[in-house]
């Protein structure tokens, strides 16, 4: 019993510390000026609070498609003060207070209460396997045989078999386990994060980086004819409580063009509260597993997107390559040249590497490199799929913006931004 408590408690602490790091801290350096079509003069509070009752962006800072009327992107005003006071009361009740320490402790309790006995046991078994994996990390088989007794090796094999059997018997997998813990973690922290979005600000540097990614998403839509423009939609993967909505609106997206999906139903609930006009005007907020949405290309009823945006979200998914191939093969509008996948992490690839080192369950690997993106999506063999229903050999993509390497000077200036488009 003590082993269970220690293993689960350790994992919960890691989860809370990791989710607390999913913020936009103050930057060390300012970013370079964006294109003339994207204003950098807007104050931090004005842009961040757009959509929470702040004035709509002015016309001179919005590209074709943006306008100061509700049908073309203006957000229905929300009483920010009233909502903030309501959330502060809810945070106090839910987490036991509003200080960082109280919220951290309260989040840990909420995560533990949301975890089923099956998930807790899976963590215990996983932890046992990982302890041995860490001890033998970097060793070849002969070295392991020299350093460990046959009994130690046999016990490790038995523990691994026990873990894998438990996952099978409970209809789990390492991927499902990660997704479940993502859902629990974000559900448990959703109210605190939503409240912080009303009481804090995002640095101008990170605003500019997200705005630049949003511009890449909109450019391909604005290039369509006026009659097609409304049909060009963007999918915001891992949209949370809607942090990117003001940016998408600012560059010109209309409400009905915006779809957001998040695994956390709690986060989606707040997105709907903060931006009620999105769904009123025909847009969507979807609480679901990203891997479950979409259909094969033959299903014409599935929504196709001109742009799919991963804003600080791709690294949360258990299999990045599968996620990107799914986007390419199932979700992008491949009937139009230029449909895009945009991957943005304002804090850069090195930040994600640190998260992976801290908790490989929630963040299993680093963001993809230029070579990986080319190999997965752009090379001739990138269309290989285990599903014979895919006829993806005709889908060609090009990496038009290569991401900055981890810990490079360019990463300090730009963060992580990768843009791929159908050619």
Same domain, 149 and 281: no
Domain stop point among 156, 190, 224? 190
Contact 201, 25 (CB under 8 A): no
Of residues 235 and 34, more confidence is placed in 235
322 domain-assigned: yes
CA 311 to chain centre: 6
317's tokens: 């998914």
SS (H, E, C) 286-349: EECCHHHCCCCCCCCCCCCECEEEEECCHHHCCCHHHHHHHHHHHHECCCCCCCEEEEEECCCH
- Reported as a single tens digit per residue, the pLDDT across 239-259 is 999 999 999 999 999 999 999
- Reported as a single tens digit per residue, the pLDDT across 143-200 is 999 999 999 999 999 999 999 999 999 999 999 999 999 999 999 999 999 998 888 8
23 domain-assigned: no
What is the model's pLDDT at position 210? 98
What is the model's pLDDT at position 199? 82
Q: Give the whole-angstrom CA distance, residue 42 versus residue 29.
A: 18
DSSP state of 329: I
The boundaries of the domain holding residue 121 are 2-14+93-190
85 domain-assigned: no
The H-or-E segment that residue 197 falls in is helix 174-199
How many independent structural domains does the chain possess? 2
Least confident of 75-84, 214-223, 374-383, 385-394: 385-394
Domain stop point among 146, 164, 190? 190
Closest CA to 420 of 400, 403, 402, 391: 400
Q: Give the whole-angstrom CA distance, residue 367 versus residue 404.
A: 11
Above 50 in pLDDT, residue 23? no
- Reported as a single tens digit per residue, the pLDDT across 257-311 is 999 999 999 999 999 999 999 999 999 999 999 999 875 444 455 789 999 999 9
Same domain, 327 and 207: yes
Same domain, 228 and 268: yes
| Residue 398: strand, helix, or coil | strand
196 domain-assigned: no
Same domain, 70 and 8: no
What is the model's pLDDT at position 10? 57
Same domain, 292 and 147: no
Same domain, 144 and 282: no
173 domain-assigned: yes
Same domain, 269 and 121: no
The whole-number average pLDDT for the span 231-246 is 95
Q: Give the whole-angstrom CA distance, residue 203 versus residue 396.
A: 36
Same domain, 39 and 97: no
Pairing relation of β-strands 234-237 and 307-311?
parallel
27 domain-assigned: no
Residue 61 banded pLDDT, cuts 50, 70, 90: very low
Same domain, 259 and 128: no
């Amino acid at each position: 019993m003590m082993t269970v408590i220690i293993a689960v408690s350790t994992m919960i602490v890691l989860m809370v510390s990791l989710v607390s790091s999913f913020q936009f801290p103050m930057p060390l350096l300012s970013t370079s000026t964006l294109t003339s079509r994207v204003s950098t003069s807007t104050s931090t509070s004005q842009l961040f609070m757009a959509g929470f009752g702040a004035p709509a962006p002015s016309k001179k800072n919005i590209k074709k498609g943006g306008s100061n009327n509700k049908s073309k992107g203006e957000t229905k005003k929300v009483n920010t003060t009233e909502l903030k006071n309501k959330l502060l009361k809810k945070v106090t009740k839910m987490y036991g207070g509003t200080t960082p320490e109280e919220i951290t402790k309260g989040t840990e309790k909420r995560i533990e209460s949301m975890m089923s006995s099956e998930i807790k046991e899976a963590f215990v078994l996983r932890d046992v396997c990982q302890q041995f994996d860490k001890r033998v990390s970097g060793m070849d088989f002969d070295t392991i045989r020299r350093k460990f007794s046959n009994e130690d090796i046999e016990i490790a094999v038995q523990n691994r078999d026990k873990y894998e059997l438990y996952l099978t018997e409970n209809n789990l997998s390492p991927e499902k386990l990660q997704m479940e813990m993502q859902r629990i973690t974000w559900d448990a922290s959703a109210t605190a994060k939503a409240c912080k979005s009303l009481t804090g600000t995002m640095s101008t540097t990170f605003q500019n980086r997200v705005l630049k990614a949003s511009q890449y998403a909109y450019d391909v839509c604005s290039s369509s004819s006026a009659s097609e423009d409304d049909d060009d939609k963007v999918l915001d993967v891992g949209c949370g409580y809607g942090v990117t909505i003001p940016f998408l609106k600012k560059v010109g997206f209309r409400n009905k063009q915006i779809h957001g999906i998040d695994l956390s139903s709690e986060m989606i609930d707040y997105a709907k509260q903060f931006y009620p006009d999105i769904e009123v005007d025909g847009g969507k907020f979807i609480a679901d597993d990203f891997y479950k949405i979409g259909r094969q290309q033959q299903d014409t009823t599935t929504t196709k997107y001109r742009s799919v945006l991963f804003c600080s979200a791709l690294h949360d998914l258990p299999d990045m390559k599968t996620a990107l191939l799914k986007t390419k093969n199932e979700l992008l509008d491949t009937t139009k040249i230029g449909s895009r996948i945009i991957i943005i992490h304002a804090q850069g690839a090195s930040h994600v590497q640190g998260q992976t080192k801290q908790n490989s369950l929630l963040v299993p690997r680093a963001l993809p490199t230029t070579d990986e993106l080319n190999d997965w999506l752009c090379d001739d063999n990138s269309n290989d799929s285990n599903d014979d229903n895919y006829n993806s050999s005709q889908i060609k993509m090009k990496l038009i913006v290569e991401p900055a390497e981890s810990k490079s000077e360019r990463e300090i200036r730009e963060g992580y931004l990768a843009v791929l488009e159908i050619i």
